[in-house]
Amino acid sequence: MEDKTRILNMVSEGKITVEEASILLDALDKKEKISEEPIAMKGKQGRKPTKLRVNIDANENSKKSKVNVNIPLSLVKTLGPIISKNLPKEAKEEMDKKGVDLVAIMNSIDEFIEAAGEEDIVNVDIEGDEPAKVRVYVE
């Protein structure tokens, strides 16, 4: 309110015109409206994922152990090219036969993660003698 009074005093003293005062008062109103808007806290939406998570939950009766691996995505991006260059020849050949291009996956990991969004990358229920649940996702 103090700013509005100062603007009106400037008009009465002849320092600014009525039109100039109107512009200044409009700008003050806009500023007040912006500062009055509540700030909404973000949930997970809009945040970039930072970890690749791999969970394997075995059945209680299973002899398999539970696995919970959390890998920073920055580490995946950094080590991915190193790992792909140093894979054993047999492993590379087997991956090629299966149509897995590890280099292409590492090069497009950002797009892949963005496309996955909130969904799991892998979510498999394994049935049989030793059932388990495998889940790979980013968070």
Q: Is the pLDDT of residue 43 over 60?
A: no
Return all residues near 33 (Cβ < 8 A) that are at least 6 apart.
none
Average confidence score pLDDT of the chain: 75
Q: Is the pLDDT of residue 90 over 80?
A: yes
Q: Is the pTM of this model over 0.75?
A: no
Task: Report the alpha-carbon distance of residue 18 to residue 14 in Å, rounded.
Answer: 9
pLDDT band of residue 34 (cuts 50, 70, 90) is low
Q: Is the pLDDT of residue 66 over 70?
A: yes
The domain segmentation of the chain, as residue ranges, is 2-36, 51-138
pLDDT band of residue 30 (cuts 50, 70, 90) is confident
Q: Between residues 69 and 6, which one has the greater pLDDT?
A: 6
